[in-house]
Structure 1
Amino acid sequence: MIIKPRTRGFICLTAHPEGTALNIKNQIDYVRSKGTIANGPKKVLVIGASTGFGISSRIAAAFGSGAATIGVFFEKPAAEGKPGTAGWYNSAAFEKEAQNAGLYAKSINGDAFSDEIKKQTIDLIKKDLGTVDLVVYSLASPRRTHPKTGVAYASVLKPIGQPFENKTVDFHSGVVSDITINPIDSQEDIDNTIAVMGGEDWKFWMEDLHNAGVLADNVKTVAYSYIGPELTFPIYRNGTIGQAKNDLEATTGTINNILKDINGQAFVSVNKALVTQSSSAIPVVPLYISLLYKVMKQKGIHEGTIEQMYRLFKERMYTENGEIALDNEGRIRVDDWEMRDDVQAEVAQLWKEATTENLEQISDIEGYRNDFFNLFGFNFNEINYDADTNEVVNIPSI
């Protein structure tokens, strides 16, 4: 079939198998160009492995460190006349590239919050790998059904205490407008968001993996977080999502206790603001990212997800001397370039100036759009989007 992008707000409803495969290959080529992560992981489980930081983590481990990888995700497979999701196509392309390189790669498609998928993953590790030495937790979902109680929770994206008023942009049209987001109605909004996006599920995974004996001695586990600039604090870090991120970050202490007997370590990595399916949904953030991209590209310090994950592994988690640099809160920071004083000062000035009329000149809104559509396999010059493509692509291990 011929597949073109169809969008609804911040969501792209279609994905292109050839374009997503090219996106994966480009990331693999980047890692290969940078060289081996000498002390990197060898057997890796990535939970939330199909898009964004998750798929880039899997690529960095496999092609940077020669790691065998198991990926867990929840994606819609392709069917005749109906394209699969971008994450499905990403995972199919990754597995094929890994197999061509002689690397072990298998995937599990299902609800990672469920006990059933945890057990299925543990059984696969026991059967094929024995143990894993790195667990990446990169799960992003708006909803979660609690595996012990069966209660379904939905996260909310709201400020706390008072309405949030600021600029935002429709990145499709480039129209800058004012937005007002009303605060939470009750503590329940915070509790539900923490239940979905906090650290409990990460803890459940590490408990189950540890109890099953499938974690190697000196295992490491990392989950991903974000802080960002003060201008986004009301909607992000000081809002409901931020409360969930606080909970996630606090969970490292609990997991370190779980892993104490095998000398395991849990970390949170604070990553850079990037165009992902999740970040596109947050008001204000697309405008901030488009201005940030402009500044960081001019300074030659822009990174995408693959550059971030390669740097995380090579320069933070698996250094030659074995030391891991942490901030005062015990977090790894690969948002350090984004948060540089000179970068933030320039972004803050551009923020004040940004209007619909000047946005194309003072921001990289075009780069934002391009990155967004690249996530779904579109906007690659090498792909002929007017040509028929085979929408039915299988993941070899599923």
Structure 2
Amino acid sequence: MLKFEQNIRGNVALGINPLGCKQEVLNQIDYVKNKGTYQGPKKVLIIGASSSYGLATRINLAFGAGADTIGVSFEKGPKNERNLGTAGWYNNIAFREAAEKDGLIAKNFVQDAFSHESKQEVIDYIKSEFGGKVDLVVYSLASGRRTDPDTGETYSSSIKAIGEPVVGPNINMQKQEFYTETLDPATDQEIHDTVKVMGGEDWQLWMEALKEADVLADEVLTTNYSYLGTELNHDYYGGGTLGRAKADCDEKADNINELLTDINGKALIVVATAVTTKASSVIPFFPVYCIGLYKVMAEKGTHETTIMHQDRIYREMIYGDKPEYDEVGRLRPDSWELDSDTQAKTKELILKLNEENFNSELTAYDIFYKEFSNLSGFMVDNYVDQEVTLEELKALKY
């Protein structure tokens, strides 16, 4: 029988608990079901569907709005006892099983979403087995590398400052350390490459391919998640390479809106709030911001996990009656985070942190660490330890 151990290197999770991943998916499904149903899209394509924002979006739309879904992601299954695959592999399986149990279509494409071949396979499936058209396309792909499907050149992203180095506090969860880090400024090439990987180019390629294939319904909506942050993280996020990539998404949204004019479609940038993801855990300084922010928001009753945030975005804002848009038309569910009192208290708290108190009751380190662990199937609510063999895991079908 397999034993699952949480193994962390720095702020990167190496170990996984496949059964815990399944329970976490079921917990998120229960959250949505307990909120009841709402009127939303019925045929949805989610690019980047296996974890964090993408997974939570898929769960919300399926079990809240009754949507059939297609999920595209690049994950790996189990090979041996030391390599059990990725958490997203098991998330995909758990979601499909639960959705099909409720009579919903839940097709998983596990492959490189950046390739032309993947786009064509999804299009062929929509035409042959998914009713011919989709009414919502969610782009939630997070990757550190991207191969341009036309040139074959591979680009790698860099999380760096622009112009001047940034110095600030960070956390090492593996060593339980609070330390000072220096973030070097990016070169022009690193800025360019980060935009190629994390910008909106692939989103636009997907929408062009779907439009050309005539698989987009009239009044189709496509969403892409962004993050702008505040003055507390501007130097390393909004003012860094990540910010340049997000700005490129804004530009590509304009291009997509023009592309969809004749079918009355819309491209919408959703500026999400700070949540715990595998990506946010490794952004320099960001964990410190999170443990301060979460403490303040938890006390105010406004802290959200990914499923809580996505449920509010789609149930209340996009398909509900409580939308909040900024002056350029972006949806702003991050308004709770940007609340002036919340930001002032977060700043005050962060300034008090040191190596002695960063993981004490003064902060929300416990919340951040638990949510980080949940991503790999550990510290999951309602989880009951079970026995499973490698062969049983290998027999699971995505």
Structure possessing the higher relative contact order (Cα contacts under 8 Å, 6 or more residues apart): 1
Q: Which stretches in structure 1 are left out of the alignment for 5+ residues?
A: none
The residue number in structure 1 matching 2:155 is 153
The residue number in structure 2 matching 1:62 is 62
What SS does structure 2 have at the residue aligned with 1:140? coil
The residue number in structure 1 matching 2:87 is 86
The 5-angstrom pairing of residues 41-56 of structure 1 reads 41-56=41-56
What SS does structure 1 have at the residue aligned with 2:304? coil
Distance 1:364-1:394 versus aligned 2 partners, 3 A rule: farther
Q: Please give the alpha-carbon distance, in whole angstroms, between the structure 1 residues aligned to 2:110 and 2:258.
A: 30
Q: Please give the alpha-carbon distance, in whole angstroms, between the structure 1 residues aligned to 2:176 and 2:349.
A: 15
The residue number in structure 2 matching 1:139 is 141
Deviates more, 1:187-196 or 1:10-19: 10-19
The residue number in structure 1 matching 2:170 is 168
The 5-angstrom pairing of residues 184-223 of structure 1 reads 184=186, 186-223=187-224
Q: Is the 8 A contact 2:324 2:333 kept in 1?
A: no
Deviation digits for residues 323-363 of structure 1 (CA, Å, limit 9, x no counterpart): 85410122101111111111101000001101121221211
Q: Please give the alpha-carbon distance, in whole angstroms, between the structure 1 residues aligned to 2:107 and 2:97.
A: 10
Q: Percent identity?
A: 43
What SS does structure 2 have at the residue aligned with 1:278? helix
What SS does structure 1 have at the residue aligned with 2:138? strand
2:196 maps to a residue whose letter is A
Q: Is the 8 A contact 1:45 1:136 kept in 2?
A: yes
What SS does structure 1 have at the residue aligned with 2:380? coil
Q: Please give the alpha-carbon distance, in whole angstroms, between the structure 1 residues aligned to 2:117 and 2:348.
A: 50
Q: Is the 8 A contact 1:48 1:137 kept in 2?
A: yes
1:30 maps to a residue whose letter is Y
Distance 1:393-1:42 versus aligned 2 partners, 3 A rule: farther
Cα deviation for residue 382 of structure 1 reads: 3.9
The answer as to 2:329 corresponding to 1:303 is no
Q: Which stretches in structure 2 are left out of the alignment for 5+ residues?
A: none
Q: Please give the alpha-carbon distance, in whole angstroms, between the structure 2 residues aligned to 1:270 and 1:253.
A: 16
TM-score, normalization by structure 2 = 0.95
The answer as to 2:112 corresponding to 1:119 is no
The residue number in structure 2 matching 1:355 is 354
The residue number in structure 2 matching 1:367 is 367
Q: CA RMSD in A?
A: 1.4
- Aligned residues, how many? 392
The 5-angstrom pairing of residues 1-398 of structure 1 reads 1-38=2-39, 40-81=40-81, 82-129=83-130, 130-184=132-186, 186-319=187-320, 324-359=323-358, 360-380=360-380, 382-383=382-383, 388-391=387-390, 392=393, 396=397, 398=398
Q: Is the 8 A contact 1:43 1:134 kept in 2?
A: yes
Q: Please give the alpha-carbon distance, in whole angstroms, between the structure 1 residues aligned to 2:133 and 2:74.
A: 23
Q: Is the 8 A contact 1:174 1:356 kept in 2?
A: no
Deviation digits for residues 261-308 of structure 1 (CA, Å, limit 9, x no counterpart): 111000010111111011011011011111111111111111111111
2:42 maps to a residue whose letter is K
Deviates more, 1:357-366 or 1:137-146: 357-366
Q: Please give the alpha-carbon distance, in whole angstroms, between the structure 1 residues aligned to 2:124 and 2:374.
A: 35
Deviation digits for residues 105-151 of structure 1 (CA, Å, limit 9, x no counterpart): 11101110000101111111111121100000000000000001111
Q: Please give the alpha-carbon distance, in whole angstroms, between the structure 1 residues aligned to 2:192 and 2:92.
A: 32
What SS does structure 1 have at the residue aligned with 2:268? strand
What SS does structure 1 have at the residue aligned with 2:335? coil
Q: Please give the alpha-carbon distance, in whole angstroms, between the structure 1 residues aligned to 2:389 and 2:121.
A: 30
Cα deviation for residue 90 of structure 1 reads: 0.5
1:343 maps to a residue whose letter is T
Q: Is the 8 A contact 1:171 1:365 kept in 2?
A: no
What SS does structure 1 have at the residue aligned with 2:310? helix
Q: Please give the alpha-carbon distance, in whole angstroms, between the structure 2 residues aligned to 1:264 and 1:395.
A: 38
Deviation digits for residues 146-204 of structure 1 (CA, Å, limit 9, x no counterpart): 001111101111101111011112234442221111111x3111110000000110000
What SS does structure 1 have at the residue aligned with 2:79? coil
Q: Is the 8 A contact 1:164 1:181 kept in 2?
A: yes
Cα deviation for residue 77 of structure 1 reads: 1.1
Q: Please give the alpha-carbon distance, in whole angstroms, between the structure 1 residues aligned to 2:178 and 2:74.
A: 34
Cα deviation for residue 390 of structure 1 reads: 3.6
